[in-house]
Structure 1
Amino acid sequence: MTAPAPLSVLPPSAAPVSEAPPTAARRRWSHVLLLGLVGVLPAVGAVVQLGRIHPDEVYQLLEPAWFRAHGYGVLAWEWRAGLRNWALPGAAAWLLRLADVLGLSHPVAYRGLLAIPQAMLHGWMLWAVYRFAERRAGTVGALLSALAVGLYGPVIVFAGRTLGESFSTAFLVVALEALDRTERPVRAGLVGGLMLGLAVVARYGSAVVVLAALLWLVVERRWRVLAFSCLAGLGVALGLGALDWATWGKPFHSFFAYVDFNVLSGQAARQFGASPPGFYLWPFFSGLPLWVWATMPLGLRSLHQRRALLLPLFCAVAYLLAITATAHKEERFLYPGLVLLVMAAAPTLAAFVLSRERVLLRNAVGALALVATVVTGRFFPPVDLRGDQFRGIVAATRDDGVSGLLIVNEGLWGAGGYFYIGKNIPWMTCDWPRDANFKGAMRDRRFNRVVTFEGRALAELQAAGFRVVQRVGRETVLARD
């Protein structure tokens, strides 16, 4: 098959000059190293900062993994009803066992160990963006495109987090780049199908993107790629069925339970609330860099000239329509769609920047675009990560004398769980001194450590014999003998 015409706004006179192979190879390796540095930023940030975007970051991966590895932990209701599969928590549990063998007992240390494979996956995602853009905007344009995705504010925030959206989005980007290739269709189909399957295993909501990608292959008449994608995806599906059979007693139990709860029965909307379609408007517009809108006419013109659908754009639109039509909405659900849109638009941005004749202007426009890319993290996601609380919990529970922990001004699902406490001691949460948990902890001498957010109940805690030992941001750590 012939390669597709490049999606570019470069005039013929500005087309990149071919380089000698050694020069091109050196440049490519320098790009790989730079992307590697950018690729580890989300993981490093997540480990250093701790905290959580959403309780699922802790209670849908870290805490069930801790339970599997150590035999105790807090299991959310999904893990009793069977709405989740054990693939990612099971893999994380083995890494936690490895941490025990290596003597990594500090929560930051074993959280860092868990971050290593995720950072590698994220690096693969950026390389996929590079490959996708290289076919459309050349080597330098590919680097700019990969930086536009790697430095994208929501990616910096999400990509190092242990959320289903974080893992699934990386798998989707790798999959769509593979399916976009025209060379070696067998390999493209196998890699694409495998990654699509893993994206669904990581997060069942990504099935919408999988269906859109398969439909795109049909429209483009990429029959061999389609066939081998389905073959690889079937292999992943059989593995998921076997895993559910072993853990829940029935093949595909978690998938069907998830679909019933979130789609068929409407229980998700009743239990967690329903929102109108306009719910996503502000996070959508504030979450995309300004250059996406500025380059949209150029991208649409190029698409019209090719007379072909751009795969990431097609999948992003399908996914965004699906989550808009779903009653229960959360801002984090936007993340995969936003990343796919930025992936689709980045080559057009790169081609536009490289088409500027003056070097100074090219550099200025490129730098301005990357700044706009980073700034979007200020608006999305608009949540308090509470990293100081998690760091406070870690600080409060490090010494051997701790026998019980009370967390004040936080509910159960906002706390860090046994994963960040790191030992099998009783712990509770409460909001006010009048709460039963607070009164019980004051009477129970096992509870000799407290972490309180924004100084709530300090007077009552000190009256019960606690003394302030440390302040971690907005958190106060107290202890009593």
Structure 2
Amino acid sequence: MENLRARLKFGNKDEVVKLRRRKSQLYSKEDKSLLNGALGLVAFRLINCFLVQTSFVPDEYWQALEVAHHMVFNYGNLTWEWKAGLRGFTYPLFFAFLYKILHLLNYDSVHLLIWLPRVAQAVLAAFADVKFFLLFRTIETHDVARWTFFCHLCSWFSWFCCTRTLTNSTETILTCLALYYFPLPGSKTHSSKKYLSLVALAVIVRPTALIVWFPLLIYHFCQEEHKLRLVTHNYVPIGTLAVVISALIDCLFYEKWTLVQFNFLKFNVLHGVAEFYGSHPWHWYFTQGFPVVIGPHLPLFLHGCTLAFRKYKILLGAVVWTLVVYSFLPHKEFRFIYPVLPFCMVFCGTSLAHMKAWRRAAAASLVASNLVLALYTGLVHQRGVLDAMGHVRALCDVSRNSSVPQPDVLFLMPCHSTPFYSHVHCPLQMRFLECPPDLGDQGYFDEADRFYDDPLLWLRTSFPYKSSLPTHLVLFDILEKEISTFLQGNGFKRTAAMFHTHVPEGRVGGRIFIYERH
């Protein structure tokens, strides 16, 4: 391409015309190749989307789809966070927009409500994949860029998470997009306004995105020649605008002045509410969390760190910083560190690019091991709660018939184990065991804890008369024996059983049963 430019500059008129035509053809081929690659990635992520049929964590429904369903269709259940002003409406507003379109077109079938948000997430993930590849193609050799992208697409955890309606998934997508415009060494696509706008959006979606980006923002500040201009023309105005837009959206839906970023910090850090959902030892991210998330890539990552440490020390620093900061918080989850996973891929790609004799074997091993994990976690592990909602959904047809007793479903499971109205889409009578954290309110109690302390006593006191009993019960198999006398005494018969997981733990069983009262 450089030779073409030189000849265009110094050649005669006929040669210039020919060379310009050749240059146009080259660009045309490159654009066509890029378009085909982008379409291929969309197809890949759509396949990814439809091969993930399991549940991960309640937030993918309760902090996104359930809220959107309530916004558009005016019925459903909002968790305590939405009543306390802890969550922002900007993220579920995206799904509410999709739901509203379906509603206006009269295409709001339950299957479209379930899958359209996932498909939208898959398309966004594919767009982030394209930007990820283009970034490293410009700053790395062809070999390193190719293997970095190969490692990125191979990741089982990205496959498992990227098409889910989790704030962590969108945070990771926005992080990949922002990285494209970030001033990494050798980058030709740097744009402060673009990357800072994407970072600001990520923080609106999930305030903890600031943890990941803090060292990168400091790095940019230190590298920038015009520091004052960077702060006054970019950092301050973009950050302020993001806070104002977020506050206006939240004030509109909360119908009062609400700053969710402040509430998020107050509840999770100052009041330690996050610890209510479980705590782990300080070293958990280093000994379990990160090794599981990066999976079979770990040896390549460690090897790549020794090779690319100097060039990408800021990315490695961001990974370590994020793990350290999250280690200070008592409540830990795998998904919290998902946004740093793309940073790790350049080290894995560098490792593979430097392998000669063992490259093919290492690549084949990487594909095989990640494929097994991706398919198992996407199609098998924790699928029962979604299958159960299919059975509950069938009761909607009964509820539309006013001449028969109306179904009443009670979920005797750890709270928020299943999706809710976003996966049923009819005003069916449903309830579950409530478990809000102790916020210092008078008369506080955890309904789920009270139930599991003595299930039979709770059932007998909650339903003293047969007329008050629900028509259907949804429960994990480990509870069946303990409440068998209640089930038999009140005429409940098992009508459905479905597999959930091979590794039952605590209150979560391996199978889910549905009982109906006759």
Q: Which residue of 2 aligns with 1:368?
A: 365
**C-alpha displacement of 1:144:** 3.5
Q: Which residue of 2 aligns with 1:205?
A: 208
Change (3 A) 1:165 1:223: farther
Following the alignment from structure 2 to structure 1, what is the Cα–Cα distance between the partners of residues 464 and 411? 11
Tell me the percent identity: 19
Alignment of 1:69-218 (within 5 A): 69-139=72-142, 141-180=144-183, 182-183=187-188, 185=190, 188-218=191-221
Alignment of 1:38-53 (within 5 A): 38-46=44-52, 49-51=53-55, 53=56
Specify which of 443, 449, 455 is matched with residue 466 of structure 2: 443
Change (3 A) 1:222 1:116: farther
TM-score normalised by the chain length of structure 1 = 0.80
Q: Which residue of 2 aligns with 1:351?
A: 353
Q: Which residue of 1 aligns with 2:7?
A: none
Matched positions, count: 448
**C-alpha displacement of 1:469:** 4.3
Specify which of 246, 262, 273 is matched with residue 252 of structure 2: 246
1:266 maps to amino acid? G
**C-alpha displacement of 1:258:** 1.0
Q: Which residue of 1 aligns with 2:283?
A: 278
Residues 212 and 315 in structure 1, CA contact (< 8 A), matched pair in contact too: yes
Specify which of 369, 385, 392 is matched with residue 396 of structure 1: 392
1:268 maps to amino acid? A
Q: Which residue of 2 aligns with 1:475?
A: 512
Query: Which stretches in structure 2 are left out of the alignment for 5+ residues?
Result: 1-24, 400-405, 434-451, 500-510
Q: Which has the bigger relative contact order, CA under 8 A and spacing at least 6?
A: 1
Pick which of 314-323 and 224-233 moved more: 224-233
Q: Which residue of 1 aligns with 2:272?
A: 266
1:475 maps to amino acid? I
Residues 287 and 380 in structure 1, CA contact (< 8 A), matched pair in contact too: no
Q: Which residue of 1 aligns with 2:420?
A: 417
Residues 35 and 123 in structure 1, CA contact (< 8 A), matched pair in contact too: yes
Larger radius of gyration: 2
Following the alignment from structure 1 to structure 2, what is the Cα–Cα distance between the partners of residues 121 and 36? 9
Change (3 A) 1:444 1:206: farther
2:135 maps to amino acid? F
**C-alpha displacement of 1:110:** 0.8
Change (3 A) 1:37 1:426: same
Following the alignment from structure 1 to structure 2, what is the Cα–Cα distance between the partners of residues 286 and 214? 28
**C-alpha displacement of 1:215:** 0.6
Residues 95 and 117 in structure 2, CA contact (< 8 A), matched pair in contact too: yes
**C-alpha displacement of 1:191:** 2.0
Pick which of 66-75 and 104-113 moved more: 104-113
Residues 107 and 422 in structure 1, CA contact (< 8 A), matched pair in contact too: yes
Task: Report the aligned-residue RMSD.
Answer: 3.6
**Corresponding residue SS for 1:72:** coil
Pick which of 117-126 and 244-253 moved more: 244-253
Following the alignment from structure 1 to structure 2, what is the Cα–Cα distance between the partners of residues 133 and 373? 22
Residues 142 and 350 in structure 1, CA contact (< 8 A), matched pair in contact too: no
Change (3 A) 1:92 1:444: farther
**C-alpha displacement of 1:194:** 1.5
Residues 148 and 373 in structure 1, CA contact (< 8 A), matched pair in contact too: no
Pick which of 192-201 and 444-453 moved more: 444-453
TM-score normalised by the chain length of structure 2 = 0.75
**C-alpha displacement of 1:25:** 5.1
Following the alignment from structure 1 to structure 2, what is the Cα–Cα distance between the partners of residues 21 and 459? 75
**C-alpha displacement of 1:212:** 1.9
**C-alpha displacement of 1:143:** 4.2
Following the alignment from structure 2 to structure 1, what is the Cα–Cα distance between the partners of residues 491 and 44? 48
Query: Which stretches in structure 1 are left out of the alignment for 5+ residues?
Result: 1-18
Following the alignment from structure 1 to structure 2, what is the Cα–Cα distance between the partners of residues 389 and 340? 30
Q: Which residue of 1 aligns with 2:436?
A: none
Following the alignment from structure 1 to structure 2, what is the Cα–Cα distance between the partners of residues 411 and 324? 26
2:364 maps to amino acid? A
